[in-house]
Amino acid sequence: MSNIKYLLLVSRQGKVRLMQWYTPLTPKQKTKIINDLTPLILARKPKMCNILEYNDHKVVYRRYASLYFICGITNEQDNELLTLEIIHRFVETMDTYFGNVCELDIIFHFDKAYDILNELIMCDGSMAESSKKEILNNVHAMDAIESNDHLDRILS
């Protein structure tokens, strides 16, 4: 069981590429979390622990090339190692969808990255689907619907 509070994707240069909030927070609180965590995590050396405490909860992060995937988790309900696996599953799924995903893919197709994330994690922060195949099928089905809409628009 997981109950993620938020997931942020930050580049090595400190630019936020994706963010998804699973608990109700005010814009001010969200900005504070981003402003606090970005320098804190970017300043950590590669061999340092991927789990740290922040305010009333824990933060689990993992770096893939130039991107940092940062998850805020609930102390009592979440498992840190499971959260690392969820991050890894998200990256693996994007990697299969885009074919060796890079920062540019996420910048230009953030909608697809959000689609994949929404298939993986529900709006309450719990895991919705663990199967990469199933997630990709759903995202491809969405693509097909979008593509058919496009065709319909041309034909009409």
Partner 1 sequence: MTRDKILIAYNKNADFHHFDTIKKIFDGCLDTVEYKATDSILKGLQWKTKYYSADFDLYIDRYESLDQWLDDLKDPECDVLRDALAGLIIIDDVDQKQVSILNKKDSPTVHEESFLVWCNTKDEFSQDETDDMNVRIAVDGASLEIIRLHSEEMNEFSDTVGIERVKEIIDTYQWPNMVKESLENSVRTGKAPSDMDNLDSIVQKLNNARSHYQSLDKDNDEADANSFADEIAKEVSERLGL
Give the footprint of partner 1 on this chain (CB under 8 A).
11-15, 38-39, 42-46, 63-66, 96-99, 102-104, 107-109, 112, 136-137, 140-141, 143-144, 147-148, 150-152, 154-155
Q: Answer whether 117's CB lies under 8 Å from 22's CB.
A: no
The least CB distance from residue 123 to partner 1, in Å, is 25
Nearer to partner 1, 10 or 121 (CB): 10
The least CB distance from residue 132 to partner 1, in Å, is 12
Distance CA 111, CA 4 (A): 20
Span between the terminal Cα atoms of the chain, in Å: 47
Distance CA 55, CA 94 (A): 30
The least CB distance from residue 5 to partner 1, in Å, is 23
Distance CA 16, CA 31 (A): 11
Nearer to partner 1, 124 or 143 (CB): 143
The least CB distance from residue 23 to partner 1, in Å, is 26
> How many other C-beta atoms lie within 10 A of the C-beta of residue 148?
10
